[in-house]
Amino acid sequence: MPVRWLDPSPVLRIERFSSFDEFRPNDVIGGMRSTPLDSSPISASRSILALPDCLLVLQRSFARRMEGDLGANRGGGVVIPLAFHATMNGTEVGGSTIGVIRGRAPVDVVERHANTYLMLRFSSDMSNRGWADFDKGIELFRLAPVKMLAIRSVILDMFCLASNCTDLREFELLSGRLQETLVAGLDSALVEDSVKRAPPGSLDRHRKLVERLDELVATVGEANLYSANLALTLGVSVCTLQTAVQHVCGVSLHQHLRSKRMWLVRKLLVKGGPLLTVTAAARANGFSEMSYISTGID
């Protein structure tokens, strides 16, 4: 879906610019100075969405040169292309490349035509998830088409849901799950197989960790089923927890937690009154789309 088709809502802010004089830079991942490459009218737009621990800006740009420091003094940033081709510091960057940013780094970017991409800023540097082993700067990751397609689908679904939102309270209940789904997609795409692979002799240790995880999940309830919170409580990194669940259960941490939430939906439906619907039970447990639970409920 093109950015220009999105409509503003109680949770989604839309900004549109028809001339360079109107255009205002967005410093979600750094302050950049823009210079248009030609004098023709521009048609730029951005959609801004806030989730519990991150800020997302989905932007359609214009032909320009950007210079400045990319990144932020605190937290981490990610740039995810939807339709993209540009030159950054003399290197060609295409639509299959994700940029991960920590700290600030000087960049010189040339966009010779309009691009569409997501700028994402987290409140933490996300260093405990195994994405990239570096302290400061920018790392580029070239993804396989299937992984890039999966991340783009999550992004577009999220912004479409936000654009169609009419109930602020309902979206607040879902926002944590939307963020978790996006982060899980980045985990799948950015964590190398060598990091995910369990070392020899670790099965017993991983089995005990998963048992502790399941005990914790049973006590904290749906509202706290977030990978970062669970890992912190268990005293391990998210990456370690992911590896343990994959090793013991054969599924990702995101899939494991989703199955736990599915079980909570079933329990709620069994205990609920005659007026409780599947949709209401699903929404109460963080499912934004009924298709996600149809197989498990049937």
* Domain extents in the chain: 3-163, 192-297
Provide the pLDDT for residue 110: 96
**Residue 192 is encoded by which pair of tokens?**
């190398």
Which residues share a beta bridge with 49? Answer: 12, 56
Dihedral class, residue 109 (left if φ above 0, else alpha if ψ from -120 to 50, else beta) = beta
Provide the pLDDT for residue 37: 94
Dihedral class, residue 126 (left if φ above 0, else alpha if ψ from -120 to 50, else beta) = left
Could you give the CA distance from residue 156 to residue 152 in angstroms, rounded to a whole number?
Answer: 6
Could you give the CA distance from residue 40 to residue 90 in angstroms, rounded to a whole number?
Answer: 25
Return the CATH fold of 192-297: Arc Repressor Mutant, subunit A (1.10.10)
Element (H, E) at 69: strand 64-83
pLDDT 10s per residue in the chain (298 long)? 567 789 999 999 999 999 998 898 887 887 789 999 998 889 999 999 999 889 999 999 999 999 988 887 778 899 999 999 999 999 999 999 999 998 888 999 999 999 999 999 998 888 878 887 788 888 899 999 999 999 999 999 999 999 999 988 888 878 888 888 899 889 888 887 666 677 778 888 899 998 998 888 878 766 567 888 888 899 998 888 888 888 888 888 888 887 777 766 666 556 666 555 655 555 555 555 544 444 444 3
**Residue 59 is encoded by which pair of tokens?**
């932007």
Which residues share a beta bridge with 34? Answer: 66
Its CATH architecture, for the domain 3-163, is Sandwich (2.60)
Provide the pLDDT for residue 265: 63
Provide the pLDDT for residue 296: 45
Considering Cα of 142, then 143, then 149, then 155, what sign does the dihedral take?
negative
Asked if residue 262 lies in contact with residue 291, where contact means CB atoms within 8 angstroms, the answer is no
For β-strands 116-122 and 91-93, DSSP reports them as unpaired
Provide the pLDDT for residue 280: 58
Provide the pLDDT for residue 134: 80
Could you give the CA distance from residue 204 to residue 202 in angstroms, rounded to a whole number?
Answer: 6
Output the CA angle 33-11-46, nearest 5 degrees.
25
Element (H, E) at 147: helix 145-163
